């Protein structure tokens, strides 16, 4: 994997190096072409800029002069209009007049400030007095309200006293305090009377409760005595009954004594008969006759089994037919009920649609409603998103407008900083700076050429003292020397001049670069002012209209969606029943076809006997065969059992003798039992008499208890009727008394004389304060009038002073206008002398194209440098140790990979062939197992519901090589033509039988030399009928497999009846019983089958 990655990286590096070299070559070609075009455009632009700079300078100067003239003219006009009266005098007189007015105004302002201070002090005193007046008035009103409140409380207290006196029948002639004392005494007397009554009733209630408690205790005691007596009576009766039973047994023992003697005599006679009438030859003939009868019955049973198999198929078909008919009727009835349930809806929408097409039409209807609902939901989502988008776009639009406005202000500030405060003059400033640069560059070039020319001319003069143009000689050598000195001096000054020009040129170029850098900002500002911000405003209005329209459509769509949703839910609910109806109809049609086919098969079969009759015949034949074989076995064992029978008869005779002796003993005990019976009966009569006395005593006590309880209830009712009104009256009196005490304590705080004296003092203070306020207001009015008069004089003086100053400015503005007019005429003459060169009409276009190509050139130079660095890096990587011998390593690894891949394919084919062979072996073995299962089931199983069983093996499909295959096994049963899983469908007996048969089949296929089979408790969870069927099936299995020498069946069970049923049909002489000996250890004991009977 590392070699593959290294090879891929090597290819990528080579491809990258090749592509970068091609790009570098292309960039070099483009740069050469672009540099030639830039050189031509630069020469053209320098020539045009040089002339334009001069024109722009003159035009700018002329515009500045004219604008200054207009400003001075406008200023002079406004000053002339603002002066009310022109001053007639000299300029010195004008200055003197201005100084006089200034002194006058200063004096008036000082007097104004002094008056204002006095007015402010007066206002402060007036505000303080007004506050005092307001406080006095508020305090006076508060005192009046308190007096009214206390008067109302006194009146309310008098009325309460009067009401309480009328209730208690007390006179109120001696004042409220005396009446209040009398009311307290009356309330105390009422409370004492209530307490006395409560004590009387509680005392009587306690007495009655004590009497009731005593009676209940006596009653419970008598009831306990009754229960004890009753228990004793029952014990006595049970003892008498036992004695009677024993007496009856003794009587029956006397009667049985003769019967036992007769039975003992019969047993002895049987023993003699057994010894006389046993014949061996007769028993042998009987055994041979029974064997021949068994062979005949076996052949008869085989014939009947073949007929039964056909009859089972016929009866199963009839049962299936009946079941289909009943199911058909049920489905049709269910269809009618469902159609009646939705009759109204179906008549409305699908009145003429047949039932066969109803489901598809209903699906289409539901689908159409679903599509409609989906469209409406999508439309709602679209409209909702439109509303949200409009809202978001409005917010974004507002933010963008705010942002663009802020950007506009920021950009204008930047442009204004570079354009002397006026951002709109950007183009003119840029043009003037460009012209200055061209002028400085031209002057710089002229200086360089001048120095070269002057040096050359000096050399020429030193060699040939004559004019270089006309070649005339100078008049004298002194003139030549003076010319040479003058030229040398000029050459000496040229570097200083050139240095100053270079510094000026750099500053102008820096400014031009700044202005050129601001060109995009200026374009952005123009675009923002003229296009972007107005477009955003229009877009905002459109978004508002669009949002309102979408909101209205959304409301309409919600109404339609609600209606469509209700229709869709109704149709969906009905569609479930319609689908059920359609499935029922399809199933009914399939049932009709099955019924017709089944009836044809039944008519063609022509069975004469039913499976029940054949089953009965087979059962009868099997019973006869089983009885015959049992008889055969019994006959074979009869001789061996003869001795056991004789021994049993002798044991029986011995037992009869013991019973006879026990009967004689019981006859002797009957006298003592009669005496005990008489004593128990006397005691029983005594206990019954005591029980009756106790019962009468309980009834008397119950009557007393009822009387006391009734008296207690009456007493409680009387106490409630009498005491409750008294309690409520005493509580009302106590509440009224508490209120009176509270009112009296509260009124003690009221002093009438003190409140009246405070009110008189406040009235006097208020009158004095109002007099002082009136005097302060009068003084303030006088000072305000005086202040207004002084202010009017100051305003008139200020106006005259301003007129004088304006007249002085007017004189200076008129002088400036004359100077600027002369300067403008001079500049206009210079401007008229300048001319633009030919072909200068497309300067802006060429300049813009030059800037774009220059920018492109810089970008290409940057890309060129990046590509050169990338190429150097890639070449260094190729020369490094990482990619050394990468091709050789790649070839070796590919050879190893291809070889390994071929080896893997060969191994896969070999493993696949081995897997197929194993699968074929497994399939063959499973077929053998299923064949043995079918044979055993048909031979052993006597039922008619299952034909035979088999094991189904299913493989888990896995494509991954190297994993073991997994098989899933399941037991299935064949019923007619149907194959069903036995799990959950078979009985317990079928499960047990199937498990036994499966073990035998697996043992025969996979364990040929080992035929042992052990069953541990096979009758667990089986009833008696299934247990009997299992026993018969095991006997049949033994009969079939008994011919094999290696087959052995070991049965472990606690069910004696199950073993007895097996021995009845199969000749088993002995069995082994597991018991524990005296030491507690399990041990096997051999026993004969006779012990089970």
Distance CA 101, CA 805 (A): 11
Contact 743, 183 (CB under 8 A): no
Write the CATH number for 961: 3.40.50.300
Would you say residue 256 lies in a domain?
yes
Residue 436 within any structural domain of the chain: yes
Same domain, 32 and 155: no
Q: Are residues 770 and 858 in the same domain?
A: no
The predicted-structure confidence for 611-637, as pLDDT tens digits, reads as follows 667 677 777 777 777 777 777 767 666
> Tokens standing for 159?
């009325």
* 406 in the same domain as 302: no
Higher-confidence residue of 603 and 241: namely: 241
Q: Do 869 and 943 fall within a single domain?
A: no
Q: Is residue 13 part of a domain?
A: yes
pLDDT band at 279 (very low <50, low <70, confident <90, very high): low
Predicted local distance difference test score (pLDDT) of residue 573: 76
Contact 341, 574 (CB under 8 A): no
Residues 994, 1038, single domain; the answer is no
Q: Which of 1007, 1042, 1074 is the last residue of a domain?
A: 1007
Task: Give 951's pLDDT tier (boundaries 50, 70, 90).
Answer: very high
SS3 1019: coil
pLDDT for 971 equals 92
Distance CA 362, CA 580 (A): 12
CA pair distance 178, 189, nearest whole angstrom:
17
Please tell me the total count of domains within the chain: 6
The residues, any chain, with a CB within 8 Å of residue 218's CB and separated by 6 or more, are: 701
Looking at residues 849-868, what average pLDDT do you find?
76
Q: What is the pLDDT of residue 969?
A: 86
Give percent of the chain above pLDDT 70: 73
Cα(197)–Cα(113) distance, integer angstroms: 96
pLDDT band at 3 (very low <50, low <70, confident <90, very high): low
Assigned token pair, 78: 């406004």
CA max distance for the chain = 208
What's the pLDDT tens digit per position in 988-1015?
Answer: 778 878 887 888 788 778 876 676 778 8
818 is in an annotated binding site: no
pLDDT at 479 exceeding the cut of 60: yes
- Residue 163 CA to residue 750 CA, distance in Å, equals 23
Whether 122 is covered by a domain: the verdict is yes
Closest CA to 934 of 922, 954, 950: 950
Q: 282-298 pLDDT, tens per residue? A: 656 676 777 777 777 77
- 111 and 46 in a single domain? The answer is no
Q: Which residues contact 156 (CB under 8 A, 6 or more apart)?
A: 743
pLDDT-derived band at 961, boundaries 50, 70, 90: very low
Q: Are residues 493 and 452 in the same domain?
A: yes
CA distance 145 to 924: 123
Residue 344: strand pairing partners? none
Q: Are residues 393 and 511 in the same domain?
A: yes
Whole-angstrom distance, CA of residue 498 vs CA of residue 442: 11
Query: CA-CA distance, 984 to 549, in Å (whole number)?
Result: 67
Is 165 labelled as part of a ligand binding site? no
What phi, psi does 273 have (nearest 5°)? -65, -40
Closest to 882 (Cα-Cα) out of 9, 4, 1: 9
Do residues 577 and 646 share a domain? no
Residue 280 binned pLDDT confidence (cut-offs 50, 70, 90)? very low
Q: Are 482 and 411 in contact (CB under 8 A)?
A: no
Q: Report if residue 776 sits inside a domain.
A: yes
How many CB atoms neighbour CB 697 within 10 A? 17
Residue 643 reports pLDDT greater than 60:
no
What does the block give as tokens for 1036? 């049949």
Closest CA to 1019 of 1068, 1053, 994, 990: 1053
- Give dist(CA 155, CA 163) in Å, integer: 13
- pLDDT for res 442: 67
The token pair at 546 is 């669009």
DSSP code string of 66-95: HHHHHHHHHHHHHHHHH-SS---S-HHHHH
Q: Is residue 828 part of a domain?
A: no
Give the pLDDT mean for 931-944: 80
* Cα distance between residue 842 and residue 452, in whole Å: 35
Pick the most confident of 345-349, 354-358, 375-379, 803-807: 375-379
The half-sphere exposure of 139 on its side-chain side, counting CA atoms within 13 A, is 17
Write out the DSSP string of 315-363. Answer: HHHHHHHHHHHHHHHHHHHHHHHHHHHTHHHHHHH-TT--HHHHHHHHH
pLDDT (tens digit, 9 = 90+) per residue, 28-52? 888 888 888 878 777 777 776 676 6
> Given this model, what pLDDT does residue 883 score?
66
Closest C-alpha to 445, from 493, 488, 502 = 502
Tell me, what's the pLDDT at 972?
Answer: 92
Which DSSP letter does residue 717 get?
A: H
Contact in structure between 942 and 1032 (CB atoms under 8 Å): yes
Name the more confident of 942 and 760: 760
* N-terminal to C-terminal alpha carbon distance within the chain: 86
Last residue of a domain, one of 1007, 1034, 1055: 1007
760 and 689 part of one domain: no
> How does DSSP classify residue 1066?
S
Tell the residue number behind the tokens 């007596």, with chain if given: 229
pLDDT for residue 542? 83
> Are the C-beta atoms of 628 and 318 separated by less than 8 Å?
no
Residue 903 located in a structural domain: no
**CATH number of the domain residue 19 falls in:** 1.10.287
Choice between 538 and 169, residue whose per-residue pLDDT is larger:
538
Tens digit of each residue's pLDDT (9 = 90 or more) over 410-439: 777 777 777 777 777 777 777 777 777 777
User: CA 414, 417, 420: angle at the middle one, nearest 5?
Assistant: 140
Angle between the N-to-C axes of helices 91-168 and 611-747, in degrees from 0 to 180, rounded to the nearest 10:
100
Neighbour tally for 979: CB within 10 Å: 11
Q: How confident is the model at residue 959 (pLDDT cuts 50, 70, 90)?
A: very low
Residue 848 belongs to a domain? yes
Indicate the average pLDDT of the chain.
74
Pair (438, 484) in one structural domain: yes
Task: Walk across the sheet containing 978-981 and list its strands.
Answer: 948-955, 967-975, 978-981
Q: Tally Cβ neighbours within 10 Å of residue 818.
A: 10
CA-to-CA distance for 53 and 851, rounded, in angstroms? Answer: 19
Lowest mean pLDDT among 442-451, 689-698, 806-815: 442-451
pLDDT score of 414? 76
Q: Who's near 533: CB < 8 A, 6+ residues apart?
A: 401, 404, 405, 408
CA distances from 372 to 261, 383, 579 (A): 106, 16, 22
* Paired tokens of 33: 């072409």
Rounded to an integer, what distance in angstroms lies between the CA atom of residue 210 and that of residue 708?
Answer: 10
Rounded distance, CA 757 to CA 753, Å? 6
Helix orientation angle between 355-418 and 477-517, rounded to the nearest 10 degrees? 150
Percent of the chain at pLDDT > 90 equals 1
What distance in Å separates the CA atoms of residue 354 and residue 339, rounded to the nearest whole number?
A: 12
SS3 label, residue 975: strand
Position 186 confidence tier, pLDDT thresholds 50, 70, 90: confident
Residues 6+ apart with CB under 8 A from 711: 208
Q: How far apart are CA 689 and CA 698, in angstroms?
A: 15
Range of the structural domain that residue 991 is part of:
911-1007
Q: 967-975 and 978-981 as β-strands: parallel, antiparallel, unpaired?
A: antiparallel
Query: Is the domain of 866 the same as that of 931?
Result: no
Average pLDDT on 683-687 reads 78
* 3-state SS record for 628-647: HHHHHHHHHHHHHHHHHHHH
Q: Judging by DSSP bridges, how do beta strands 1047-1052 and 1011-1016 pair with one another? A: parallel
Residue count of the chain, please give it: 1093
pLDDT the model gives residue 798: 67
For the CA atoms of 1057, 1063, 1066, 1071, the dihedral, rounded to the nearest 10 degrees, stands at: 120
Name which of 133-147, 893-907, 1071-1085 the model is least confident about: 133-147
Closest to 215 (Cα-Cα) out of 871, 707, 762, 619: 707
Q: What is the pLDDT of residue 960?
A: 46
The span from the CA of 467 to the CA of 473, in Å, is 6
């Amino acid at each position: 994997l590392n070699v593959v990655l290294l090879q891929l990286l090597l290819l990528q590096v080579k491809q990258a190096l090749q592509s970068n070299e091609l790009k570098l070559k292309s960039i070099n070609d483009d740069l050469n072409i672009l540099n030639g075009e830039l050189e031509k455009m630069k020469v053209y632009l320098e020539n045009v800029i040089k002339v334009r700079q001069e024109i722009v300078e003159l035009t700018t100067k002329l515009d500045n002069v004219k604008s200054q003239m207009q400003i001075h003219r406008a200023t002079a006009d406004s000053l002339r209009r603002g002066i009310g009266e022109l001053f007639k005098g000299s300029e010195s007189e004008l200055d003197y007049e201005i100084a006089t007015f200034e002194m006058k105004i200063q004096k008036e302002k000082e007097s104004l400030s002094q008056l204002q201070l006095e007015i402010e002090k007066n206002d402060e005193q007036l505000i303080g007095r007004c506050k005092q007046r307001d406080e006095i008035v508020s305090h006076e009103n508060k005192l009046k309200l308190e007096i009214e409140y206390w008067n109302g409380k006194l009146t309310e207290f008098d009325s309460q006293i009067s009401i309480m006196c009328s209730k208690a029948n007390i006179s109120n002639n001696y004042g409220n305090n005396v009446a209040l004392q009398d009311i307290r005494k009356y309330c105390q007397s009422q409370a004492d009377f209530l307490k006395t009554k409560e004590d009387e009733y509680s005392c009587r209630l306690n007495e009655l409760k004590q009497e009731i408690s005593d009676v209940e205790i006596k009653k419970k005691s008598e009831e306990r005595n009754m229960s004890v007596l009753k228990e004793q009576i029952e014990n006595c009766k049970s003892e008498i009954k036992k004695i009677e039973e024993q007496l009856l047994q003794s009587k029956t023992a006397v009667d049985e004594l003769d019967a036992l003697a007769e039975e003992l005599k019969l047993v002895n006679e049987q023993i003699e008969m057994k010894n006389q009438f046993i014949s061996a030859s007769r028993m042998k003939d009987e055994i041979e006759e029974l064997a021949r009868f068994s062979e005949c019955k076996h052949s008869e049973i085989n014939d009947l089994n073949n007929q039964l198999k056909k009859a089972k198929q016929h009866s199963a078909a009839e049962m299936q037919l009946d079941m289909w008919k009943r199911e058909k009727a049920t489905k049709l009835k269910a269809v009618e009920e469902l159609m009646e349930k939705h009759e109204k809806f179906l008549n409305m929408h699908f009145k003429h649609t047949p039932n066969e097409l109803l489901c598809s039409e209903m699906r289409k209807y539901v689908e159409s409603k679903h599509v409609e609902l989906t469209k409406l939901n999508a439309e709602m989502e679209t409209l909702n998103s439109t509303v949200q988008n409009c809202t978001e776009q409005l917010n974004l639009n507002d933010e963008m407008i705010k942002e663009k406005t802020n950007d506009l202000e920021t950009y204008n500030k930047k442009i204004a900083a570079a354009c002397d405060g006026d951002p709109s003059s950007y183009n003119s400033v840029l043009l003037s700076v460009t012209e200055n640069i061209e002028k400085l560059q031209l002057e710089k070039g002229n200086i360089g050429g001048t120095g070269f020319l002057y040096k050359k001319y000096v050399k020429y003069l030193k060699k040939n003292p004559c004019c270089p143009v006309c070649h005339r000689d100078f008049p004298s050598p002194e003139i030549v020397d003076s010319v040479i000195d003058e030229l040398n001096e000029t050459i000496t000054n040229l570097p200083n001049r050139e240095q100053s020009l270079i510094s000026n040129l750099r500053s102008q170029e820096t400014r031009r670069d700044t202005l050129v850098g601001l060109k995009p900002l200026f374009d952005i500002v123009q675009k923002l002012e003229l296009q972007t911000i107005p477009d955003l405003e229009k877009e905002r209005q459109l978004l508002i209209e669009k949002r309102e329209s979408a909101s209205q459509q959304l409301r309409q769509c919600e109404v339609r969606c609600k209606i469509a949703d209700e229709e869709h839910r109704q149709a969906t609910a009905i569609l479930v029943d319609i689908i059920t109806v359609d499935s029922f109809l399809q199933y009914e049609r399939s049932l009709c076809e099955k019924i017709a086919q089944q009836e044809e098969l039944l008519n063609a079969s022509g069975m004469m006997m039913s499976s029940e009759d054949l089953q009965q015949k087979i059962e009868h034949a099997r019973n006869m065969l089983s009885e015959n074989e049992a008889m055969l076995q019994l006959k074979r064992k009869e001789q061996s059992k003869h001795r056991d029978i004789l021994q049993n008869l002798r044991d029986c005779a011995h037992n009869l003798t013991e019973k006879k002796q026990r009967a004689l003993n019981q006859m002797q005990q009957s006298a003592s039992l009669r005496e005990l019976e008489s004593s128990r009966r006397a005691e029983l009569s005594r206990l019954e008499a005591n029980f009756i006395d106790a019962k009468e005593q309980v009834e008397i006590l119950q009557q007393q208890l009822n009387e006391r309880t009734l008296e207690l209830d009456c007493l409680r009712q009387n106490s409630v009727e009498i005491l409750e009104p008294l309690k409520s009256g005493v509580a009302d009196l106590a509440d009224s008394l508490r209120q009176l005490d509270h009112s009296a304590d509260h009124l003690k705080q009221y002093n009438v004389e003190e409140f009246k004296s405070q009110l008189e003092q406040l009235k006097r203070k208020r009158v004095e304060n109002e007099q002082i306020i009136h005097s302060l207001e009068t003084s303030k009015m006088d000072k305000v009038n005086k202040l207004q008069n002084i202010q009017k004089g100051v305003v008139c003086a200020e106006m005259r002073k301003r007129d004088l100053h304006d007249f002085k400015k007017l004189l200076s503005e008129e002088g400036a206008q004359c100077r600027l007019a002369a300067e403008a005429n001079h500049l206009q003459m210079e401007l008229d002398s300048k001319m633009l060169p030919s072909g200068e009409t497309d300067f802006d276009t060429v300049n813009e194209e030059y800037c774009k190509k220059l920018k492109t050139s810089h970008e290409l130079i940057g890309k060129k440098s990046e590509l050169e660095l990338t190429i150097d890096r890639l070449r260094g990587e190729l020369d490094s140790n990482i990619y050394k011998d990468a091709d050789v390593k790649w070839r070796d690894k590919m050879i190893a990979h291809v070889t390994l891949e071929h080896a893997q394919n060969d191994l896969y084919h070999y493993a696949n062939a081995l897997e197929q062979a194993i699968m074929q072996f497994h399939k063959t073995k499973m077929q053998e197992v299923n064949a043995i299962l079918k044979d055993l089931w048909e031979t052993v199983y006597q039922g008619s519901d299952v034909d035979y069983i088999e094991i189904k093996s299913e493989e888990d499909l896995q494509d991954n090589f190297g994993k073991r295959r997994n098989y899933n096994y399941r037991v299935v049963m064949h019923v007619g033509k149907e194959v069903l899983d036995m799990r959950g469908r078979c009985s317990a007996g079928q499960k047990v039988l199937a498990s036994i048969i499966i073990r035998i089949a697996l043992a025969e296929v996979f364990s040929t030399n080992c035929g042992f089979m052990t069953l541990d408790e096979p009758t667990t969870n089986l009833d008696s009928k299934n247990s009997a069927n299992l026993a018969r099936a095991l006997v049949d299995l033994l009969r079939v497999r008994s011919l094999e020498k290696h087959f052995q069946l070991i049965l472990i069970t606690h069910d004696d009846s199950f073993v007895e049923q097996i021995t009845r049909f199969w000749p088993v002489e002995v069995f082994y019983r597991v018991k524990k000996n005296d030491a507690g250890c399990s041990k096997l004991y051999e026993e004969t089958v006779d012990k089970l009977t």
